Amino acid sequence: MALSKSHRVTMNDGNTIPVLGLGTYAPRSVPKSEGEMATKVAIEVGFRHIDGAFLYENEKEVGQAIRAKIADGTVTRKDIFYTGKLWNTYHRPELVRPALEETLKNLQLDYIDLYIIHCPMSFKPGKDMIPFDENQKVISDSVDLRDTWEAMEKCKDAGLVKSIGVSNFNRRQLEMILNKPGLKYKPVCNQVECHPYLNQSKLLEFCKSNDIILVAYSSLGTHREAPWVDQNSPIVLEDPVLGAIAKKHNRTPAQVAIRYQIQRGLVVLAKSFTEKRIKENFQVFDFQLTPEDMKAIDGLNKNLRYLIFKQFQDIPNYPFNDEY
């Protein structure tokens, strides 16, 4: 995966994606204005890839930040790469384009650069992001994701989005799309949890063999938000091996964790709402990890998934039961 001077790589549809992006998800306890501030700071320090989602409920604020940085001349629209996500309640083919149009309206943009199916699990359509029945069980919906994918392809053909991909898909689910009769566009990417404790080596190998880019979320571990994450799980950035490598290179453990993924050929999302850390997280293009460093970090893998969404385990297409 050859890096251009602008830190971009080419996807299977010919479009390019910056290898480092800002994640904009924030727990509900964080004010929406923080997302706007973080996006502005990120663009100022050099980030050109902004990863958002309808689910995050801050698209308006993130859009305001992007448009402010275009208005003040920091960037042009073409400089910015924005990722949006199709939420689980919009998998029915007739709902896909309206969902994307809602995202465009929130952002006040004419198109987005990448639109991905957020998760392979389909929920009952409606105003509730996560619909529950009277027994507090999530209400699923019966949708063939190959039909959802066709509707995504039509959005690309309509010029509403430049590239289309998926997220949280396992190998079996990717194969279902890749083997679909009449497939017009392959997914350009699969965005999944990936960090030194869950290095996704098998899924990475499969994606590379199919010219699909693996995009890493929770690349620095996770925000440890209850109830989604086990509060007793170990913290990646406190790992002594990462710490020792960081000390050797005079870097932070976060910078080492990001650099590790870039050198493996992944696109990496890093999330922070702190100006100092946002700046640090972008300073990963002026040093190189040695083969010994890479091997040592490979050795940290525990197949530890922070985000397992236990509440969804009974939903069809739950993606985390398969080995990869």
Q: List pLDDT tens digits, range 121-180.
A: 999 999 999 999 999 999 999 999 999 999 999 999 999 999 999 999 999 999 999 999
Residue 162: its H or E element: strand 161-167
Q: What gap in Å lies between CA 170 and CA 45, rounded to an integer?
A: 34
What are the C-alpha distances in Å from 274 to residues 81, 181, 226? 21, 47, 21
pLDDT tens-digit map of 169-189:
999 999 999 999 999 999 999
Q: What gap in Å lies between CA 216 and CA 261, rounded to an integer?
A: 8
The band of 33, judged by pLDDT with boundaries at 50, 70 and 90, is confident
Q: Is residue 162 part of a domain?
A: yes
Binding-site residue set for substrate: 118
Q: Is residue 160 part of a domain?
A: yes
Angle at 100 (CA atoms; ends 94, 104), nearest 5 degrees = 150
User: At 43, phi and psi to the nearest 5?
Assistant: -65, -40
Q: Is residue 166 part of a domain?
A: yes
Check residue 123 and give its pLDDT.
Answer: 96
Q: What gap in Å lies between CA 294 and CA 201, rounded to an integer?
A: 13
Q: Is residue 319 part of a domain?
A: no
Q: Is residue 322 part of a domain?
A: no
- Confidence (pTM): 0.95
Q: Please state the rounded mean pLDDT for residues 302-314.
A: 86
pLDDT above 90 covers a percentage of the chain that reads 85
Check residue 219 and give its pLDDT.
Answer: 95
Residue 1 pLDDT greater than 70, yes or no: no
User: At 260, phi and psi to the nearest 5?
Assistant: -55, -45
Burial class (CB in 10 A: 0-12, 13-18, 19+), 267: buried
Q: Is residue 324 part of a domain?
A: no
25 catalytic residue (yes or no): no
Residue 71 pLDDT greater than 90, yes or no: yes
Q: What gap in Å lies between CA 299 and CA 75, rounded to an integer?
A: 40
Residue 223 pLDDT greater than 90, yes or no: no
Q: Is residue 258 part of a domain?
A: yes
**List 25, 56, 306, 318, catalytic entry:** 56
Pairing of strands 16-18, 8-10: antiparallel
Q: Is residue 122 part of a domain?
A: yes
Q: How many domains, the chain?
A: 1
Q: What CATH number does residue 213 fall under?
A: 3.20.20.100
Domain span including residue 114: 8-312
- Are the C-beta atoms of residues 148 and 116 closer than 8 Å to each other? no
